[in-house]
A and B are shown apart, each in its own frame.
Chain A
């Protein structure tokens, strides 16, 4: 497995995402409510870290953070069947009329994002859904385009049989982005 970004680099990337979100939010009307929703199991940790950075700016109200489990919305459920592990969705706030920044670790086909959007829309009616991803490795199968990208890997030589791994504490022992064989 080869490392693409170390923990220092991951921190810079997440701060970059947070600053980009903050810039958009700064221009938005003051009465607009914003929230972060991370896709489990790494997007929710990225969302929490973005929120910490946003709240550290201190010039806007704190951003609530939710986590989303998309298993039940996956379009390949009939193929993976019982291998699917259903997690819990925890969004402790109303989504109606909120600007939701959907956060994921790796963007590839766009199918997870489609599932996440279908799930969000069943949970409420966000005013707008934004998409922030830590890395974009290309390979889209759906017309989905991120608003905020940390690390653009679309021109990196990543084989089709390889996987981009995002490791984040506390689920993993260190922060890093790496490329390696699937499995």
Chain B
């Protein structure tokens, strides 16, 4: 047991009933979850893509924001653990009739569920739900705060590509996160996960979208992608979230693209084996050029695949802890 968990202590126990943020997880928690996810990977490649681990449990997808892959990924992850899944959308529901988030969550819990997966446009929504209900709550993205499973699947993808799954130790690695850092919950979760595993993080974006507060979190800040690119092992290209941009954050899409878009020409400056990541959905030709997104450096589809194992591990551990 100790051998397989690398540096994990033998008496370690996963202590969290909820998965709300990576900020509150210890590096040991993160490594334990990632190691657990390794065990779930094979479930998706065999003939019967199901294990009985959460048989008889109920998982609810409670999504107040549009989502395709995260919702589908959580649904599939719960199904592969043999849980029953209830899909709940804000559109056309009692929320549209004026019900509050807490009332909605309590009503769903009253049906006897074991876990609620929440996505909401307000930062802190998942924590608020977790304080109002007795079941496990998993944050599938809350406003501009965190998207923990995305952060976990991103570091899982890096570890797999760079053969660091035996220890999940990222000492010596440097990762750039590029784009709209200010509005990005993906960036926040990634910063926490990467730093806790020992990597250095450099955030790149236009000054309007790059809050100085990240420097206090120990990140390097830069407005010059060309200067950063040669020195990093992975570059995570964030989507420009037009739906969250309320003011004119940059003069034009074309200017943003020419300064911060990952083009084939710009890739010449990077290390040959650099990992190109994107949480999706991509704006092809804006933050990332098609030739780069579809190159061997790209981990974009692996990230989606790895998301399943990560979410299975997250559901298994949190529901198991309650």
CB within 8 Å of B: which residues of A? Answer: 41, 69, 71-73, 77, 81-90, 118-119, 122-124, 171
Top 7 A-B pairs, shortest CB-CB distance: A86-B39, A81-B320, A82-B321, A72-B51, A122-B48, A72-B53, A82-B14
- B251 located at the interface, meaning its Cβ lies under 8 Å from any Cβ of chain A in the complex: no
Given A41-B4, A72-B53, A73-B52, A86:B46 Cβ within 8 A? no
**B-side contacts of A72, CB under 8 Å:** 39, 43, 51-53, 81, 316
| Closest chain A residue, CB of each to CB of B39 | A86
**A-side contacts of B46, CB under 8 Å:** 122-123
| B residues 1-34 touching A (CB-CB < 8 Å) | 1, 3-5, 13-15
| Closest chain B residue, CB of each to CB of A89 | B42
A82 and B18 alpha carbons, distance in the complex (Å): 12
| Closest chain B residue, CB of each to CB of A75 | B52
On whether the beta carbons of B53 and A82 are closer than 8 Å, the reply is: no
**B-side contacts of A171, CB under 8 Å:** 3
**A-side contacts of B68, CB under 8 Å:** none
Q: Point out the residue from B4, B39, B48 that lies within 8 Å of A89, measured CB to CB.
A: B39
Most buried by A among B3, B4, B35: B4
Given A72-B53, A82-B14, A123:B1 Cβ within 8 A? no
A85 and B320 alpha carbons, distance in the complex (Å): 11
**A-side contacts of B81, CB under 8 Å:** 72
Interface extent on B, as a size class?
20 to 34
List 30 A-B residue pairs with CB atoms under 8 Å apart, sorted by A's residue number: A41-B1, A41-B3, A71-B53, A72-B39, A72-B51, A72-B81, A72-B316, A73-B52, A81-B322, A82-B14, A82-B321, A84-B320, A85-B1, A85-B4, A85-B5, A86-B35, A86-B40, A86-B313, A86-B316, A87-B4, A88-B38, A88-B42, A89-B42, A122-B46, A122-B47, A122-B51, A123-B47, A123-B48, A124-B47, A171-B3
**B-side contacts of A81, CB under 8 Å:** 320-322
On whether the beta carbons of A118 and B316 are closer than 8 Å, the reply is: no
A8 and B82 alpha carbons, distance in the complex (Å): 45
| Closest chain A residue, CB of each to CB of B32 | A85
How far does the Cβ of A181 sit from chain B's closest Cβ, in whole Å? 17
Given A87-B4, A171-B3, A118:B52 Cβ within 8 A? yes
On whether the beta carbons of A122 and B316 are closer than 8 Å, the reply is: no
Most buried by B among A87, A90, A124, A171: A87
Identify 19 new A-B residue pairs, CB closer than 8 A, beyond the known A85-B1, A122-B51. A41-B1, A41-B3, A72-B51, A72-B52, A81-B320, A81-B321, A82-B317, A84-B320, A85-B5, A86-B35, A86-B36, A86-B39, A86-B313, A86-B316, A90-B42, A118-B52, A122-B46, A122-B47, A123-B48
A81 and B320 alpha carbons, distance in the complex (Å): 4
Most buried by A among B40, B50, B320, B321: B320
On whether the beta carbons of B317 and A87 are closer than 8 Å, the reply is: no
On whether the beta carbons of B48 and A87 are closer than 8 Å, the reply is: no
| Closest chain A residue, CB of each to CB of B8 | A85
| Closest chain A residue, CB of each to CB of B2 | A171
**B-side contacts of A89, CB under 8 Å:** 39, 42
B38-70 near A? 1/0 per residue, CB < 8 Å: 111111001110111100000000000000000
On whether the beta carbons of B320 and A82 are closer than 8 Å, the reply is: yes
A85 and B13 alpha carbons, distance in the complex (Å): 9
A69 and B35 alpha carbons, distance in the complex (Å): 13
**A-side contacts of B15, CB under 8 Å:** 82
Given A73-B51, A77-B53, A118-B52, A88:B3 Cβ within 8 A? no
B252-281 near A? 1/0 per residue, CB < 8 Å: 000000000000000000000000000000
On whether the beta carbons of A69 and B52 are closer than 8 Å, the reply is: no
| Closest chain B residue, CB of each to CB of A121 | B48
A88 and B1 alpha carbons, distance in the complex (Å): 11
**A-side contacts of B322, CB under 8 Å:** 81
Most buried by B among A72, A90, A124: A72
A41 and B39 alpha carbons, distance in the complex (Å): 14
**A-side contacts of B35, CB under 8 Å:** 86
How far does the Cβ of B50 sit from chain A's closest Cβ, in whole Å? 7
On whether the beta carbons of A83 and B53 are closer than 8 Å, the reply is: no
How far does the Cβ of A166 sit from chain B's closest Cβ, in whole Å? 14
Q: Point out the residue from A77, A82, A83, A88 that lies within 8 Å of B39, measured CB to CB.
A: A88
How far does the Cβ of B55 sit from chain A's closest Cβ, in whole Å? 9
How far does the Cβ of B285 sit from chain A's closest Cβ, in whole Å? 40
How far does the Cβ of B9 sit from chain A's closest Cβ, in whole Å? 12
**B-side contacts of A69, CB under 8 Å:** 39
Most buried by A among B15, B51, B317: B51
